[in-house]
Amino acid sequence: MSLNLDPNLVDPDGFYQALLDAHEGLDAAQSAEFNARLIFVLANQIGDPELLAQALEAAK
């Protein structure tokens, strides 16, 4: 299986806003910590090591 790099978000603008809302009021360090936690939550959903390796590559 290969990583889906085509548009797949059902509501891109809604997700983007939810993400901003989650960061609202955090300082820089807290935001970085939040992002780190979010990465693990999303990675767990993906699960597959091959896909995760491709995701790490795509984000470089």
Partner 1 sequence: MTMQDRYPIAFQLYPYQRSADQDAKAPVTHPVVVVGGGPIGLATALDLGLKGHPVLALDDHEGVGQGSRAICFVRRTLEIAHRLGAGAEMLAKGIVWQKGRVFHDSDEIFEFDLLPEDGHRCPAFINLSQIHFKKFLVEAIERANADCAKIEIRGKNRVDAIDPGKDETVVDISTPDGSYQIKANWLIACDGARSPIRDMMGLGFDGRVFEDNFLMADVKMTADFLTERWFWFEPWFKSGSSALLHKQPDDIWRIDFQLGWDIDREKELKEENVRNRVDQMLGGKVEYELDWCSIYTFQCRRMEKFCHGRVLFAGDSAHQVSPFGARGANSGIQDPENLAWKLDLALRGHAPETLLHSYDEERLAAADENILNSTRSTDFLTPKFEASKKLRDAVLTLAARHRFARPLVNSGRLSVPCVYDSLSGFGPDAIVTPKRTRPDAPATDAPLADGYLLDKLGGGFTVIGFGTSIPSAQNIEGLHVAGLTIDEISPETRERYLGDEASAVYLIRPDQYVVARWAEYDKGKIASAIRQAIGKDNKCP
Shortest distance, position 33 Cβ to partner 1, whole Å: 11
Distant-in-sequence, close-in-space partners of 54: CB < 8 Å, separation ≥ 6: 2, 3
1, 2, 20, 36: which one binds partner 1 (CB under 8 A): 20
Long-range Cβ pairs for the range 5-11 (8 Å, 24+): 5/58
What is the three-class DSSP state of 43?
Answer: helix
**Count of positions on this chain that bind partner 1 (CB under 8 A):** 20
Residues at the site binding partner 1, with contacts judged by CB under 8 A: 4-9, 12-13, 15-17, 19-20, 23-24, 26, 28, 31, 58-59
